[in-house]
Copies of this chain bind each other. A is one copy, B any other.
């Protein structure tokens, strides 16, 4: 039993190490867009392989724990939540790579007004990521619920930014490629927010033992 507890602790530690790498990748990819920083964008591309490898290791660890013994209700929920959060983190890492690629494509484009929105949206998204992971660490259902509440705000910001970028492109057809890149950056941020929401839902399942996915009315409980 001692061994099982230690392995469970190792699973959590590894998941948090992966989360730290993914958070850093998101931060650097957005900074690369806003500051037109090629080196930073390339560092995100370089770290992708390491994040992918961590995903495989964490999955192996979790499946090994399921095989080792029949875990009790709470431990079983922790392990299945870890499997799901692991998948979400890896996808968030992929999205940071997408953003970094757009940053490289945008290096030579002039700064435009619509870019002012990006630090704003990304600030909100990064705080959702942080809160969903803190909620996991501290098994904090209230914090997890606050992440779900932010999701609509991100959708609204994305939609406003899309309209602004489309009218910018209509007025400046020579900058259409830049506009398409920026729409993609914002969409990738929105998808990162969606994965934070998934993590927050997994935390609620972990803490409460109830499944809140697709049940908006239960989220406000």
Contacts and interface: CB of A to CB of B under 8 A. Distances in A.
A214 B76 contact: no
A84 B53 CA distance: 18
Contact of A214 (B52, B166, B213): B52
A160 interface: no
A173 interface: yes
A66 B70 CA distance: 7
A169 interface: yes
B177 A166 contact: yes
A126 B8 CA distance: 40
A45 interface: no
Contact of A66 (B52, B66, B214): B66
Interface string A101-115: 000000000000000
Nearest to A64: B76
Contacts of A53: 214
A60 B169 CA distance: 47
Interface in A175-204: 176-177, 180, 183
Interface in A51-68: 52-53, 55-56, 59-60, 63, 66-67
A87 interface: yes
A21 to B, nearest CB: 15
A211 B62 CA distance: 14
A73 interface: yes
A95 to B, nearest CB: 11
Contacts of A49: 214
Contacts of A177: 166
Contacts of A9: none
Question: 5 closest pairs, A vs B, by CB?
Answer: A52-B214, A173-B173, A70-B70, A169-B176, A170-B173
